[in-house]
Amino acid sequence: MSPKRLALRGDLVDFTADPGLDQTTGAGVRYRPDHWLLVENGVIVGAQLHEPGAGWARADHRGRLILPGFIDTHVHSAQVDVIGSWGTQLLDWLDTHTFPAETRMADPAHAAAISALFTDALLAHGTTAACVYPSVHKVSVDALFAAAQQRGMRLIGGKVLMDRNAPEAVRDDVDGAERDCHVLIETWHGQGRLAYAVTPRFAPTSTDAQLAMAGRLLASTPGLYMQTHVAENEAEVRWAAELFPQARSYLDVYARFGLLNERAVLGHGIWLDDTDRALLRDTGAQIAFCPSSNLFLGSGLFGWSAARDAGVNVSLASDVGGGTSLSMRRTMLDAYKVQALAGQKVSAFALLHAATRGAAHALRLGHEIGSFDVGATADLCIWDWARSPLAQRRQQVARDLHEKLFAWITLGDEQDLAETWVAGERRFERPAAPH
Ligand code: GUN
Ligand code: ZN
C-alpha cells in the first residue's frame, strides 16, 4: 500500500534540548518559520522550506503556529463536574465536592459520557497526551482508555486506589483492587498508545497493605507508570505524618513501598525538603507542577528552581478539577505568575518545553511525543498567533520569537486553536463561527 503522506505548512516551533528556566536567547529552541512539516503514515519524516511535490496531501496554514501537542501530566477525568467549586482547601474540597462527583463514575453510562467529553475537551485545548486519574471504579478506567483509544491519544492512566479515609462508595479493598488492576493491566497496558499507571490516590487514603500491593503491582510488569499526589497542602502533610509516623517524610512513604521510579509522576510536591528532592532525582521520578490548582485550592507556591537545581524533572499539569482549566497555556501563565511571586523569571521557552519535550522526556517517551524530531508520532496543534485586535496588535509589536511566544501564551484563548492532529489524523477542528 502506498504511504499516506501529509504536509502541513506553518511556523514550526519545537525543542531539541532543555532551554533552561530563564533564558530568552533560544538555546534548545527549533524555530522553522513558514516550513512544511512532512508526515508519513502518522510519523514525522522531516520539514522543509519548499512545497513538497505530487503525492503529498497539503494543508496550507501559513501565518499560523504549529506546535507539538501538549502533554498534561496530571489531570482527573472524573472531576470535570467539579471545576470551579467554590470556597474550600484540599481536604474539605475532596469531601465536599470531589468524592461525590467521583461516586457517579460507578455508573457505566456516566463514565462513558464523561470520558468522551473529557478526551474531546483535551483535544480542543491542544492536549494530545495525558496522565489521567479516573476514579476508584474499574468501569471508569475502561471508559477512559476506550475513549482515548478511539481518538488515538497517548494516554497513561489507572484505577484510583483508596481503601480508607474516604466514603464507602469510592473505597476499594486490597484484594478487589489487586484483581481489578491485573485485569486492567492485561486489557489496556501497551495496547496501542495506552499505558497503565498504578494510581494510589495519595498516602492518606491507602493502608500500608494497599501501598505494599501497589508496589508489587508496579514491579510485576515492565513499563508501568505510577502516579499519585504528594505534599500539596500543609494540613495534608501533617495528616500523612500522623498516619505514617515511621516515614521520614511524606515522599518517603512512597519510597518505602517501592513506588518511586523513573516512571513515577507525583502531583504538586510543594512542601518538600532537600532530602526529598535528592530522592526524586535519584529515582528519576518527576513532579507534575499544577499551578492553577495550587492557586485555586490555596495550596502553596511550588519551588520550580529549587527542584531544577536539585536535578528533579518537572512537568506542567492542569490538575482539573482542582485546576480551573484544561488549557496548558493558562497553566503556563499561572506557572509564570507563581514563580514571579518568588522573584524567579521563567521564559516562554521553559514553559512550552515543560509542556512538550520536557514532559515527554520525563515520561521516557521522548522518542514518541513532545517534538517534531524525525520518527516522532505526528501529535501536533495548529494555532492562530492572534485573533482579537488586542492580541494581533501585541504580536505586531513583538520584537523577537520569545516575546511573540510569551504574548501568545498570555493573551491567547481557546478559540486560537484551529486544528489538533493525533498520530497524523485530524481529531479536532475549530467550529466555524456562527454568522
Ligand atoms: N490529593 C488527593 N486527591 C486529590 C485530588 O483529587 N486533587 C488534588 N488536587 N489533590 C488531591
Ligand atoms: Zn490531582
Residue owning the nearest CA to atom 3 of ligand 1? 201
Residue owning the nearest CA to atom 9 of ligand 1? 322
Please provide the distance, in angstroms rounded to a whole number, between the alpha carbons at the two ends of the chain.
43
Pick the ligand that lies closest to the CA of residue 324: 1
State the closest ligand 1 atom to the C-alpha of 299, by its place in the atom list counted from 1. 9
Pick the ligand that lies closest to the CA of residue 165: 1
Question: Quick check: CB of 98 below 6 Å from ligand 1?
Answer: yes
Instruction: Give 117 Cα–ligand 1 centroid separation in angstroms.
Output: 21
Q: Give the C-alpha separation, 264 to 224, whole Å.
A: 9
pLDDT attached to residue 433: 83
Question: Quick check: CB of 102 below 6 Å from ligand 1?
Answer: no
Instruction: Give 229 Cα–ligand 1 centroid separation in angstroms.
Output: 7
Instruction: Give 152 Cα–ligand 1 centroid separation in angstroms.
Output: 27
- CA separation (Å) from 417 to 66, 141, 219, 387? 10, 28, 40, 10
Which class for 305: exposed (0-12), middle (13-18), buried (19 or more C-beta within 10 A)? middle
- Joined together, the cell numbers standing for residue 51 give 512545497
State the closest ligand 1 atom to the C-alpha of 236, by its place in the atom list counted from 1. 1
Cα–Cα nearest to 266, from 256, 275, 277, 274: 277
pLDDT attached to residue 246: 98
Question: Quick check: CB of 76 below 6 Å from ligand 1?
Answer: yes
Q: For residue 200, what are the β-bridge partners?
A: 161
State the closest ligand 1 atom to the C-alpha of 323, by its place in the atom list counted from 1. 9
pLDDT per residue as tens digits for the range 2-52: 889 999 999 999 999 999 999 999 999 999 999 999 999 999 999 999 999
Residues 6 or more apart from 305 whose CB is under 8 A from it?
21, 339, 342, 344
pLDDT attached to residue 317: 99
Q: Does pTM top 0.75 for this prediction?
A: yes
Instruction: Give 312 Cα–ligand 1 centroid separation in angstroms.
Output: 21
Low-confidence ranges of the chain (pLDDT < 50): none
Pick the ligand that lies closest to the CA of residue 300: 1
Instruction: Give 6 Cα–ligand 1 centroid separation in angstroms.
Output: 41
Residue owning the nearest CA to atom 8 of ligand 1? 322
pLDDT per residue as tens digits for the range 118-146: 999 999 999 999 999 999 999 999 999 99
Q: Give the C-alpha separation, 108 to 106, whole Å.
A: 6
pLDDT attached to residue 2: 83
Q: Are 193 and 153 in contact (CB under 8 A)?
A: yes
pLDDT attached to residue 206: 99
Question: Quick check: CB of 74 below 6 Å from ligand 1?
Answer: no
- CA separation (Å) from 266 to 1, 30, 151? 44, 29, 26
Question: Quick check: CB of 359 below 6 Å from ligand 1?
Answer: no
Residues 6 or more apart from 338 whose CB is under 8 A from it?
291, 294, 295, 301, 302, 304
29-40, strands of its sheet edge to edge:
43-48, 29-40, 5-15, 57-68, 380-384, 417-422, 425-429
Question: Quick check: CB of 319 below 6 Å from ligand 1?
Answer: yes
Pick the ligand that lies closest to the CA of residue 90: 1
Residue labelled with grid coordinates 476499594? 172
Pick the ligand that lies closest to the CA of residue 299: 1
Q: Are 141 and 157 in contact (CB under 8 A)?
A: yes
Instruction: Give 308 Cα–ligand 1 centroid separation in angstroms.
Output: 23
Cα–Cα nearest to 99, from 121, 82, 116: 82
Instruction: Give 240 Cα–ligand 1 centroid separation in angstroms.
Output: 14
Pocket residue to mutate for ligand 1, from 232, 266, 287, 302, most atoms within 8 A of Cβ = 232
3-class DSSP assignment, residue 46: strand
- CA separation (Å) from 430 to 79, 119, 380? 24, 16, 14
Q: Which residues of 244-267 are buried (b: 16+ CB within 10 A; e: fewer)?
A: beebebbbbbbbbbebbeebbbbb
Question: Quick check: CB of 166 below 6 Å from ligand 1?
Answer: no
pLDDT attached to residue 434: 78
